């Protein structure tokens, strides 16, 4: 399935729905101001988070740490794309790592599998995303690699920045969070997004009167 372009399609459909009321300029202003110029990958994060029951804040934090939201990023080690997959990992997931929608879906699927492997421990799942699950199993925790330790710390701080209600598992909660916590947080974020959309629609329609 070709996913290219799907990241922005949902946003464009929402804008079109109210633009058809006859005042697209007003809606665009309300939409852009309220959403703070939402990143073009927002819908991809939300869809992937919903499908794999992962907090979207986790996916955004990983994308920020991995590539700074650059879908064409290539690391010195050969990792590719928005979520920085090695070619072999991307192939095993059946994705094109340079397609942002596929990259986000792949990351959500991979993180979900890592959470299963490590009993819902986000700290270990993030460490495994960076250093590989083999290294985490070998050391029985976060590997003694400065890069991986810095990575886990950075991503968990970014998770809070992107609005997660999940506690920082690296600083102050060594047990991480469970899959139930992820689902609850994801549901809360989805509900807030739906509420925000309804508020945007009501605001735009009210201003038309």
User: What is the rounded CA–CA span in Å between residue 53 and residue 186?
Assistant: 7
Taking Cα atoms as reference points, which of 162, 154, 89 lies closest to residue 127? 154
pLDDT value of residue 161: 87
Q: What per-residue confidence (pLDDT) applies to 163? A: 76
Cα-Cα end-to-end distance for the chain: 43
Give 17-51 pLDDT, tens digit per residue. 444 445 555 545 544 443 343 368 999 999 999 99
pLDDT, tens digit only, all 209 positions of the chain = 444 455 655 445 544 544 444 555 554 554 444 334 336 899 999 999 999 999 999 999 999 999 999 999 999 999 999 999 999 999 999 999 999 999 999 999 999 999 999 999 999 999 999 999 999 999 999 999 999 999 999 999 999 888 754 443 333 333 333 333 333 344 444 545 555 555 554 444 444 44
> What fold does the segment set 6-208 form as a domain?
Lysozyme (1.10.530)
Q: Domain residues of the chain, as ranges?
A: 6-208
CB count in 10 Å sphere of residue 177 = 23
Record the pTM.
Answer: 0.66
Could you identify the residue written with the tokens 């340079």? 98
Tokens of 105: 């879906």
**Active-site annotation holder among 32, 66, 147, 198:** 66
Cα–Cα distances (Å) from 104 to 70, 101, 148, 156, 202, in that order, read: 12, 5, 21, 18, 31
Give residue 56's pLDDT: 93
* Residue 147: active-site member: no
Give the model's pLDDT for residue 199: 52
CA 134 – CA 70 distance, rounded (Å)? 27
């Amino acid at each position: 399935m070709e996913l290219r372009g799907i990241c922005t399609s949902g946003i464009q459909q929402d804008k079109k729905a109210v633009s058809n009321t006859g005042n697209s300029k007003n809606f665009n202003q309300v939409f852009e101001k309220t959403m703070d110029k939402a990143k073009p990958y927002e819908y991809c994060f939300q869809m992937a988070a919903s499908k794999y029951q992962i907090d979207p804040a986790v996916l955004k934090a990983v994308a920020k740490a991995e590539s700074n939201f650059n879908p064409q990023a290539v690391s010195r080690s050969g990792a590719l794309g928005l979520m920085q997959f090695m070619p072999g990992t991307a192939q095993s997931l059946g994705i094109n790592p340079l397609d942002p929608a596929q990259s986000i879906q792949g990351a959500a699927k991979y993180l979900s599998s890592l959470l299963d492997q490590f009993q819902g421990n986000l700290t270990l799942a993030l460490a495994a995303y960076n250093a590989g699950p083999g290294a985490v199993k070998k050391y029985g925790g976060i590997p003694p690699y400065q890069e991986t330790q810095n990575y886990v710390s950075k991503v968990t701080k970014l998770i809070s920045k992107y609005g997660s209600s999940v506690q920082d598992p690296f600083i102050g909660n060594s047990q991480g969070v469970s899959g139930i916590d992820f689902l609850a947080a994801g549901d809360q974020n989805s509900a807030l997004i739906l509420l925000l959309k309804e508020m945007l629609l009501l605001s735009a329609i009210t201003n038309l009167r």
